[in-house]
Structure 1
Amino acid sequence: MTAHNPLSFILDQNKLTGPNYNDWFRNSTIVLNSEKIIYVLDKKPPKEAASDVSEAKLAKFEKWWGYDLQAKIYMLVSMSIELQSRFEEAANDTDIQLHLKDLYGVQTRSERHATVKELLTTRLGDGTSVHEHGVRMIGIIEKLLGLDVVIPGELATDIILLSLPPSFDGFVVNFKMNKLEATLEEFVNKLTTYEATIKKEKHVF
């Protein structure tokens, strides 16, 4: 990996093996954005320059292919040896990206479905602390983010509220009536405090 980009270590430490395609692609876009060459992934390569093309257009043409080659190198050196040998003859980085999407897109959809199902069906079980449960739910939400599923904060909070047993009904009512706002971590801490309160009350009784 080229040494001049301090972010290149992200790709060095997270090489593409296949199943980690989404994480790898997200890291790749971070590095390419830092180089200001991410646009080569979104635009089709320019047609081959004609012999009578102007110097300005020729310079633009050569600049695009130079950046494209740079992006391709970033991609190749951050792959496993097996994948490198498969894609090193690819015409450009866009071809590499399209083939990778075809290879691992179905797997990603399957993982996304399973993760969404886990988020919506997980419930706070007997003997499990609400803090432990909340941390698990946040972990699932963050996993979905890695699968390109963005869940707004309010919706994430509502999903966690729905996963709680009736003993937390008082907390749910108070939280909604007062329209409290909190990050997911702060929200889980509030639940932990409430759980300690109801346990203390039970002990007193």
Structure 2
Amino acid sequence: MVNSLSLRSILDVNKLTDPNFTDWLCNIKIVSKQEKNAYVLDGPVFKEHNDDVINEENEAYRVYMDDLDQATCVMLASMTQDLQKQHEAMDALNIILKFREMSDKENRTERFDISKELFRCKMSKGSRVRPHVLKMMGYITRLE
């Protein structure tokens, strides 16, 4: 029995626009899991074998590469056109690595800026405690 349910429509609605990488990757993993090729996103990278290796290993490599190509196409199709052009020569694993690296840099910068504001936060003489505490709690929540 063939499963006719396709979750790819969530990728049409939630295209990668750069700042939404984490949400987009979560959706990519959901779709890949449903399509039975999520292992290419997390698992070990298969290596190409020479002709001396038995046919089973060559077949496993071919299936892996087909699944990786399919995952890459799904990823590219769920990006904005600008991002597609920038990443069309990459495979799914390298696309994920690049966006994780960019996301980590942005998150570090944002955490630094929030921390700086938190540490500079001083209560004015004669002001109320409650607004000051709420402001500090807001910074701490954003850091989490």
| TM-score, normalised via structure 2 length | 0.71
CA–CA distance in 2 between the matches of 1:17 and 1:79?
Answer: 7
Q: Between the two proteins, what is the percent identity of the paired residues? A: 33
Q: Which residue does 1:93 correspond to in 2? A: 92
Change (3 A) 1:23 1:75: same
Q: Which residue does 2:101 correspond to in 1? A: 102
CA–CA distance in 2 between the matches of 1:48 and 1:19?
Answer: 35
Matched residue SS, 2:51: coil
Q: Which residue does 1:185 correspond to in 2? A: none
Q: Which residue does 2:74 correspond to in 1? A: 74
Q: Which residue does 1:121 correspond to in 2? A: 137
Change (3 A) 1:48 1:100: same
How far residue 26 of structure 1 moved from its aligned partner, in angstroms, is: 0.9
CA–CA distance in 2 between the matches of 1:10 and 1:100?
Answer: 20
CA–CA distance in 1 between the matches of 2:70 and 2:135?
Answer: 39
Change (3 A) 1:99 1:64: same
Change (3 A) 1:120 1:64: farther
CA contact (8 A) 2:77 2:84 kept: yes
> Per chain length, whose mean CA-contact separation is higher, i.e. which structure has more relative contact order (CA < 8 Å, sep 6+)?
2
CA–CA distance in 2 between the matches of 1:5 and 1:75?
Answer: 19
| TM-score, normalised via structure 1 length | 0.51
Q: Which residue does 1:10 correspond to in 2? A: 10
How far residue 47 of structure 1 moved from its aligned partner, in angstroms, is: 1.6
Structure 1, residues 97-134: CA drift from partner, whole Å, max 9, x if none?
Answer: 111111222223455785xx899714xxxxxxxxxxxx
Q: Which residue does 1:45 correspond to in 2? A: 45
Matched residue SS, 2:8: helix
Change (3 A) 1:112 1:32: farther
Q: Which protein is bigger by CA-based radius of gyration?
A: 1
Which 10-residue stretch deviates more, 22-31 or 37-46? 37-46
- Runs of 4+ in structure 1 over 3 Å off: 108-114, 117-120
CA contact (8 A) 2:48 2:58 kept: no
Matched residue SS, 1:105: helix
**RMSD value, Cα:** 2.6
Gaps of 5+ in 2: 119-133
CA–CA distance in 2 between the matches of 1:111 and 1:69?
Answer: 34
CA–CA distance in 2 between the matches of 1:27 and 1:38?
Answer: 11
Gaps of 5+ in 1: 123-139, 150-205
Give the partner amino acid of 2:98. H
How many residues end up aligned between the 2 structures? 120
How far residue 11 of structure 1 moved from its aligned partner, in angstroms, is: 0.4
CA–CA distance in 2 between the matches of 1:39 and 1:21?
Answer: 19
